[in-house]
Amino acid sequence: MKLNLTVLTLVLFAAVSYGLYQLSYEVQELEKDLKSLNVNIAENKESIRILKAEWTYQNRPDVLQALASKYLPLLLIAPYQVASVGEVPYPPVDPEQYSVPVPRYNPHRDYSPVDRAPTGPVQLATFTRTGSLQ
Amino acid sequence: MSEPTWLSKSPRPRISLTTTLGHKNLEDRHKPLRLDGSAKETLEQGRNRLVMAGVIFAFCFVILAGRLVGLAISGIGEDEATTADSDITLPVATEENKRAEIRDRNGVLLATTLTTASLFAEPKKVIDPKDLAAKLTTVLDDLSEATILSRLASARNFVWLKRNLTPSQQYQVNALGIPGLHFRSEEKRFYPMGALVSHVMGFTDVDNHGIAGVEKYFDAQLDGSEDNPSQDLTLSIDVRIQHALRDELSRHMSVFQAIGAAGMVMDVKTGEILGMVSLPDFDPNRPSDFSGDAKFNRITLGVYEMGSTFKTFTTAMALDSGTVGLKGGYDATEPIRKAGFRIRDDHPKKRWLSVPEIYMYSSNIGAAKMADEVGPKNHKAFLAKLGLLDKPSLEIPEIGAPILPPRWNSLETMTISFGHGLSVSPLQLSTGITAIVNGGAYINPTVVRRDDMKATPVRQVIREDTSGIMRRLMRLVVEKGTGGKAAANGYLVGGKTGTAEKAVGGRYKRDALISSFVSAFPMNDPRYVVFAMLDEPKGNAQTHGFRSAGWTAAPIIGRLISRIGPILSISPVNEESEAVQRAMFIPINSREKKLASF
Cβ-based neighbours of A16, under 8 Å, separated by 6 or more: none
Per DSSP, the residues of B60-119 read HHHHHHHHHHHHHHH--HHHHHHHHHHHHS-SSS-S--SPPPEE-TT--EEEEEEEEEEE
Residue in chain B nearest A52 by alpha carbon: B109
pLDDT tens digits for range B381-420: 999 999 899 999 899 999 999 999 888 888 889 989 998 8
User: What torsion do the CA atoms of A120, A121, A122, A125 make, to the nearest 10 degrees?
Assistant: -100
Which residues of chain B have a CB within 8 Å of the CB of A48?
Answer: none
| B586–chain A nearest CA distance, Å | 22
Subunit contact A53:B109, Cβ cutoff 8 A: yes
Contact in structure between B516 and B498 (CB atoms under 8 Å): yes
Subunit contact A38:B93, Cβ cutoff 8 A: yes
The sign one gets for the Cα dihedral B44, B45, B48, B54 is negative
pLDDT of residue B5: 52
Which residues of chain A have a CB within 8 Å of the CB of B490?
Answer: 78-80, 82
Which residues of chain A have a CB within 8 Å of the CB of B240?
Answer: 61
Residue A14 near chain B (CB below 8 Å) = no
Cβ-based neighbours of B347, under 8 Å, separated by 6 or more: B361, B362, B363, B482
- The residue with greater pLDDT, A109 or B299, is B299
Question: Residue A117's pLDDT band (boundaries 50, 70, 90)?
Answer: low
**Radius of gyration, alpha carbons of chain B:** 43
Residue A24 near chain B (CB below 8 Å) = yes
Subunit contact A65:B243, Cβ cutoff 8 A: yes
Contact in structure between B390 and B378 (CB atoms under 8 Å): no
Q: Which of A21, A29, A49 is the mutation pick for testing B, counting most B CBs within 10 A?
A: A49
Selecting from B79, B114, B247 the residue whose C-beta is nearest the C-beta of A53 gives B114
Query: Which 3 state secondary structure label does DSSP give B456?
Result: coil
Subunit contact B86:A34, Cβ cutoff 8 A: yes
| A97–chain B nearest CA distance, Å | 38
| B258–chain A nearest CA distance, Å | 22
Name the A residues in 28-87 with CB < 8 Å from any B CB.
28, 31, 34-35, 37-38, 41-42, 45-46, 49-50, 52-54, 56-57, 60-62, 65, 76-80, 82, 84
Selecting from A61, A79, A133 the residue whose C-beta is nearest the C-beta of B239 gives A61
| B73–chain A nearest CA distance, Å | 5
pLDDT of residue B149: 86
pLDDT of residue B75: 64
Subunit contact A77:B86, Cβ cutoff 8 A: no
pLDDT of residue A132: 47
Per DSSP, the residues of B520-562 read EE-TTS--EEEEEEEES----GGGTT--SHHHHTHHHHHHHHH
- How many angstroms separate the CA atoms of B153 and B149, rounded? 6
Cβ-based neighbours of B394, under 8 Å, separated by 6 or more: B273, B300, B427, B445, B446, B447
pLDDT of residue B84: 45
pLDDT of residue A127: 42
Subunit contact A60:B576, Cβ cutoff 8 A: no
pLDDT of residue B322: 86
Contact in structure between B273 and B241 (CB atoms under 8 Å): no
Q: In DSSP terms, which residues pair with B114 in a beta bridge?
A: B188
Residue in chain B nearest A21 by alpha carbon: B73
- How many angstroms separate the CA atoms of B339 and B585, rounded? 40
- How many angstroms separate the CA atoms of B423 and B434, rounded? 18
CB-based burial label for B477 (10 Å; 0-12, 13-18, 19+): buried
Subunit contact A56:B109, Cβ cutoff 8 A: yes
pLDDT of residue B316: 93
**Element of type H or E holding A42:** helix A2-58
Q: Which of A45, A51, A60 is the mutation pick for testing B, counting most B CBs within 10 A?
A: A60
Interface of B with A (CB under 8 A): 72-75, 79, 82-83, 86, 92-93, 96, 108-109, 112-115, 167, 190, 192-194, 196, 239-240, 242-243, 247, 489-491, 562-563, 565-566, 571-577
Which residues of chain B have a CB within 8 Å of the CB of A52?
Answer: 109, 112
- The residue with greater pLDDT, A6 or B482, is A6
Q: Report how many Cβ contacts below 8 Å link chain A to chain B.
A: 85
pLDDT of residue A28: 87
- How many angstroms separate the CA atoms of B588 and B594, rounded? 14
User: For residue B197, which phi and psi values (nearest 5 degrees)?
Assistant: -110, 25
Asked if the bond preceding B284 is cis, omega within 30° of 0, the reply is no
The Cα angle at residue B425 between residues B422 and B429, in degrees rounded to 5: 85
Residue A128 near chain B (CB below 8 Å) = no
Mean pLDDT to the nearest integer, A119-128: 48
- How many angstroms separate the CA atoms of B320 and B385, rounded? 13
| A7–chain B nearest CA distance, Å | 22
In this prediction, the residues of chain B whose per-residue pLDDT falls under 70 are 1-34, 75-96, 452-455, 593-598
pLDDT of residue A34: 95
Subunit contact A31:B576, Cβ cutoff 8 A: no
Selecting from A57, A79, A82 the residue whose C-beta is nearest the C-beta of B192 gives A57
Contact in structure between B548 and B497 (CB atoms under 8 Å): yes
Check if B185 is active-site: no
| B572–chain A nearest CA distance, Å | 5
Contact in structure between B75 and A28 (CB atoms under 8 Å): yes
- How many angstroms separate the CA atoms of B174 and B544, rounded? 61
Which residues of chain B have a CB within 8 Å of the CB of A80?
Answer: 490
Exactly one of B308, B362, B467, B548 is catalytic; name it: B308
Selecting from B82, B115, B572 the residue whose C-beta is nearest the C-beta of A79 gives B572
Subunit contact B196:A50, Cβ cutoff 8 A: no
Per DSSP, the residues of B259-290 read SEEEEEEEETTT-BEEEEEEES---TTSGGGS
pLDDT of residue B502: 85
Query: Which 3 state secondary structure label does DSSP give B185?
Result: strand
Supply the DSSP symbol for B441.
E
pLDDT tens digits for range A17-70: 899 888 888 988 999 999 999 999 988 988 898 899 999 999 999 999 999 988
CB-based burial label for B137 (10 Å; 0-12, 13-18, 19+): middle
Closest residue by Cα to residue B362 from B403, B409, B306? B306
pLDDT of residue B301: 92
Cβ-based neighbours of B140, under 8 Å, separated by 6 or more: B119, B161, B162, B165, B169, B173
pLDDT tens digits for range B480-534: 888 888 888 889 999 999 988 887 777 777 778 899 999 998 998 899 999 999 9
Give, rounded to a whole angstrom, the gap between the first and last alpha carbons of chain A: 113
Supply the DSSP symbol for A80.
G
Contact in structure between B461 and B387 (CB atoms under 8 Å): no
Best-predicted range by mean pLDDT (A6-20, A82-96, B331-345): A6-20
| Angle separating helix axes B364-374 and B410-417, nearest 10 degrees | 130
pLDDT of residue A105: 61
**Element of type H or E holding B366:** helix B364-374
Furthest C-alpha separation in chain A: 116
Which residues of chain A have a CB within 8 Å of the CB of B71?
Answer: none
Could you give the percent of chain B with pLDDT greater than 70?
89
- How many angstroms separate the CA atoms of B466 and B483, rounded? 21
Contact in structure between B523 and B565 (CB atoms under 8 Å): no
Asked if the bond preceding B522 is cis, omega within 30° of 0, the reply is yes
Contact in structure between B566 and A82 (CB atoms under 8 Å): yes
What is the model's pTM?
A: 0.78
Subunit contact B192:A49, Cβ cutoff 8 A: no
**Element of type H or E holding B565:** helix B554-567
User: What torsion do the CA atoms of B164, B166, B167, B169 make, to the nearest 10 degrees?
Assistant: -100
Which residues of chain A have a CB within 8 Å of the CB of B194?
Answer: 60
> Helix, strand, coil % (nearest 5) of chain A?
60, 0, 40
Selecting from A20, A46, A56 the residue whose C-beta is nearest the C-beta of B108 gives A56
A88 alpha carbon, distance to own chain's centre = 31
- How many angstroms separate the CA atoms of B153 and B171, rounded? 25
Residue in chain B nearest A42 by alpha carbon: B93
Subunit contact B190:A53, Cβ cutoff 8 A: yes
Q: In DSSP terms, which residues pair with B119 in a beta bridge?
A: B162, B183
The sign one gets for the Cα dihedral B461, B434, B301, B515 is negative
